[in-house]
Amino acid sequence: MREIVIAGRLERAYSKEEILTLYLNTVPFPENVFGIDVAARRFFNKAPSLLNVAEGATLIGVLRATTYYNPVRFPERALTRRNIVLQQMEKAGYLDPSRLAALQTLPLNLNYNPVVRNEGMAPYFREFVRQELERLIKDYRKPNGDPYNIYKDGLKVYTTLHTGMQRLAEQAVEEHLSDMQEKFDRHWKGFTQPWSDMNTIRLGVVNSQRYKSLKARGTSEAEIDRIFTQKVQMKIFSYEGVKEVEMTPLDSVRYHLGLLQVGFMAMEPNTGHVRAWVGGIDYDFFQFDHVRARRQSGSVFKPVVYMQALRDSIPPCDQIPNRLVVYHEYAKGDWATKDWRRDDPEPHFEPDGTDKDDWIPQNADGIYGGSYSLEGALTNSINTVTVALIMRMGVKKVAELARALGIESEVPVEPSIALGTAEVSLYEMIQPFAVFASGGVRTRPLAIRRIENHKGEVIAEFDQGSKREQVVSQEEAHTMTRMLQSVASYGTASRLRWMYNVVDVPVAGKTGTSQNHADGWFIGYTPKLLAGAWVGGDSPLVRFRNFEYGQGAATALPVYARFMRKVLDDSTMAHWHGGEFPVLAPEQLRRLACPARIPSAEELLADSLAKDSLLLLEPLAPIIENQGN
């Protein structure tokens, strides 16, 4: 009855042609496209007035079930549905039988052109908010019981993004990535690029929009291969601006594959409010959001291991040997139950006795000997000590703690997770650091603050509330912050101070570099602001050739450093300036009062001999007699 009343009112107010126009301008098409104008440009790359009969019938046909008849994903279904629409047109007298027969033999002839959503600020964040809104709004209903439609109901969504901070984040990303890309290109000049092999290029081709569009038209693989090797006019990304070039589509895939990408996110650790979000170098060309991409975490995962050590009451001043160790039959291990303390109490280095099932974790600098405290090992990112710790505590406990701290991706129950072999996203990896920064309380990232209807009436408001949970003790969190401050002041992240001059606020953080330095990480926090960066290629093969250039301290840390320097220099950001980390209790300070590293006996002996030699040589220096004035 309600629909009949509405239909009657519409027919009294509008002509049938006007009603049809209103409908076509707002109706949803596949891929969350709304309106015939956007749909025509998305699937045929032309205005609606330029559509031919078959193309128009295709778009009308998909309205019956926009996902099921999506012409890009299911071209056969869309073709069948289009022909049904054409049959109905013939029955209604709009087509004669011969014209119908000719039209039904035509392929779909899609010219797929994804709609650019880069207008405005923070496009990656806006897409994340759209998905969050779709998820959240399902729990609410209109007064009449109908569900909300986020595209048609005029909802007002208030987010946590800070536009000024977002602008600074985008500037920091562009400044560093443009410099890094130039260095990367020089670094590989004259060398064979590992991502140029045809298997990698082929994967890039298959994932390209051009390939998907051609497949949707029913183009054969042989014809697609021919098209991809013919030069055409196209646009490519560059830091100087979009370039119009003549290039084969195959070369464009190779070119774009060789670009370094970035993910950056900033949030308030106590509230969870997401303040800045950059998911890539340019949304026009790269819609994939690298904030949510899962990549090997490298050493940025190590604080999870050291937090478990604190929870296991391992004294921070325990000196753990920096030894090169062989873990025999590692590949056969049942890491959920294996107890290395019982099964292999004294693993030792046997370079000639290893086999393919053994594992020898090595330090990045190749230096061994002596021993480290927990703080010293984390500060200097010592792999051998970190692995010794996880073996001592049990791998399963560390994996479980990672989940409690906010890492929802699968963390394999294997000792190698101590060195960051687990694949996680920046969005996940930033959450353990939020726990450390907020005194042990887990605070989930929050992007949407409030949703209102078209009248301004509040539908829902969101805050952390009951979602906040104490996952580690305040003492443990504050101790970890102290240890991570050492990383930023004296360890692998010390260039924050001496290179980027981030000295006017306390900083705690950790660098990370994955295997073959394919992924660079840095996550850091001040008393009021937490931020993290990931830098790497879309393929793990896109990487620097050596650790010096590829480490997280060189690739990702500068994004954070540039961002923080801009925030601290901006008077409008005073809310996030200053502050101090909690002062540790005297007992906690005593527990940390120990050498970061104790040299081995051999080192001490060598040092002593060197000093003795210098003392012995001193009398042999020339004696200069007083010659007077």
Best CA proximity match to 583, nearest among 439, 448, 431: 439
Residue 242 pLDDT: 86
Residue 369: C-alpha distances to residues 313, 326, 340 (Å): 25, 15, 21
User: 158 forms bridges with which residues in the sheet?
Assistant: 450
Dump pLDDT digits (tens) for 430-486.
999 999 999 999 999 999 999 999 889 999 999 876 578 999 999 999 999 999 999
Q: Which of 160-169, 224-233, 346-355 has the lowest mean pLDDT?
A: 346-355
Dump pLDDT digits (tens) for 364-416.
989 999 999 999 999 999 999 999 999 999 999 999 999 999 999 999 999 99
Q: Do 558 and 530 form a contact (C-beta atoms < 8 A)?
A: no
Residue 204 pLDDT: 87
Q: Which of 152-161, 336-345, 513-522 has the lowest mean pLDDT?
A: 336-345
Q: With bands split at pLDDT 50, 70 and 90, how would you rate the model's confidence at 176?
A: very high
Residue 8 has pLDDT above 70, yes or no: no
Residue 628 pLDDT: 42
Residue 181 pLDDT: 97
Residue 358 pLDDT: 80
- Looking only at the bridges linking them, the beta strands covering 519-525 and 508-513 are antiparallel
Helices (H) and strands (E) in the chain, counts: 25, 19
Residue 334 has pLDDT above 70, yes or no: no
**Mean pLDDT of the chain, nearest integer:** 88
Specify whether domain 2-104 bears CATH 3.30.70.260. no
Looking at per-residue pLDDT, the higher value among 345 and 263 belongs to 263
CA 442 centroid distance within chain: 20
User: What SS3 class is residue 275?
Assistant: strand
Q: How far apart are CA 554 and CA 549, in angstroms?
A: 6
Dump pLDDT digits (tens) for 471-483.
999 999 999 999 9
Q: How far apart are CA 363 and CA 428, in angstroms?
A: 26
Residue 373 pLDDT: 96
Residue 191 pLDDT: 92
Q: How far apart are CA 178 and CA 196, in angstroms?
A: 22
CB environment 435-453: b (16+ within 10 A), e (fewer): bbbbbbbbbebbbbeebbb
* Delimiting residues of CATH 3.40.710.10 domain(s) in the chain: 295-325+361-592
Average pLDDT over residues 286-313: 96
* Delimiting residues of CATH 1.10.3810.10 domain(s) in the chain: 2-104
- Looking only at the bridges linking them, the beta strands covering 448-452 and 295-296 are unpaired
Percent of the chain with pLDDT over 70: 88
Dump pLDDT digits (tens) for 228-283.
999 988 889 999 888 889 999 999 999 999 999 999 999 999 999 999 999 999 99
Residue 626 pLDDT: 40
Dump pLDDT digits (tens) for 485-518.
999 999 999 999 999 999 999 999 999 999 899 9
The residue with tokens 């906690």 is 588
Q: Which of 209-213, 425-429, 548-552 has the lowest mean pLDDT?
A: 209-213
Average pLDDT over residues 348-371: 76
Report the CATH fold assignment for 295-325+361-592. Answer: Beta-lactamase (3.40.710)
Positive or negative: CA dihedral 547, 292, 165, 283: positive
Residue 299 pLDDT: 97
Residue 615 has pLDDT above 50, yes or no: no
User: What SS3 class is residue 217?
Assistant: coil
- Looking only at the bridges linking them, the beta strands covering 597-598 and 371-372 are antiparallel
Average pLDDT over residues 586-602: 89
